[in-house]
Amino acid sequence: MIAIAARQPFGRVFARLGRTFLFALGALADPSQATGQVGAVLSAYTDFRFRGLSLSDGQPVGLADLSYDHSSGIYGALSGSIVATRHDGLKPLGLTVNAGYAHRVGRNLSLDLGAVHSRYSRYSGGLSEQSYTELYAGLSTRFVGTRFAVSPDYLGSARWTLHGELNGHLDAPHDFSFDASVGALIPLRDNGYQGSGRSTWDVRLGVAKRVGPLSIHGALTARGKGGYYGNYGRGRTAIILGLSTAL
């Protein structure tokens, strides 16, 4: 079972992380430097799953994503979400801030280095607010990629973890696309947490269909029994449906 540590008020953290992201965007968007591209996406899903774990207590979610890609390879992203709770209506769910650097190191090979911080409210299904920070490194080709991420305090568990994954993506005719990933979460150094030290696998198979300005999504997610997460997370297997549109 994941042990959840006490956190700062969610709204205060939300505002602080948002200001940090906007400041970073302003620095990157300096007109004296190379050009960049801003993107925004709105989406809704029947559940919010992260590595097979539900972070919305099995409830529907809405997300707003803002991204910036600089021609130098530096990028940043901000994602906010709300959840349709079981008894309290719509509530804030989470905020994720991501920054990194992508660089082509060969004709068909790209390197990706970065950091991500996510924070979730008590409506994620935990006993209180929870968060994690990860540093990651990955390599990718046109169709497949791999990524390794290390966290010093994964979801408030006071334990170092390593997550490795292999993923793939394929664009198909008639505006279809397919993606898949398989990964493993490996507990590392213990900082006092007395939970399971076993690794936990996760897998995801997804399909998307573009219909005009909308994209229709479907995915099957699953994770291993027991292990790091214990019984936390609203079931180990789920089918997720969703809609998204780029602004």
Boundaries of every domain in the chain: 10-246
Is residue 93 predicted with pLDDT exceeding 70?
yes
Q: For the chain, how far is it from start to end, CA to CA, in angstroms?
A: 39
Q: How confident is the model at residue 111 (pLDDT cuts 50, 70, 90)?
A: very high
Mean pLDDT of 199-210: 95
Tell me how far CA of residue 214 lies from CA of 8, 207, 241, in angstroms. 37, 14, 13
Spatial distance between the Cα atoms of 85 and 83, rounded to a whole number of angstroms: 6
Maximum distance among all Cα pairs of the chain, rounded to whole angstroms? 53
Higher pLDDT, 31 or 186: 186
What local confidence, expressed as pLDDT, does residue 25 receive?
A: 52
What local confidence, expressed as pLDDT, does residue 221 receive?
A: 96
Give the helix/strand (H/E) hosting 80. Answer: strand 74-84
Indicate the average pLDDT of the chain.
84
Q: Which CATH class is domain 10-246?
A: mainly beta
Lowest mean pLDDT among 12-26, 109-123, 146-160, 208-222: 12-26
Higher pLDDT, 110 or 125: 110
Single pTM value for the model = 0.82
Mean pLDDT of 85-110: 94
- pLDDT tens per residue across span 157-201: 667 899 999 999 999 999 999 999 999 999 886 555 444 567 889
Pair 241, 45: CB distance under 8 Å: yes
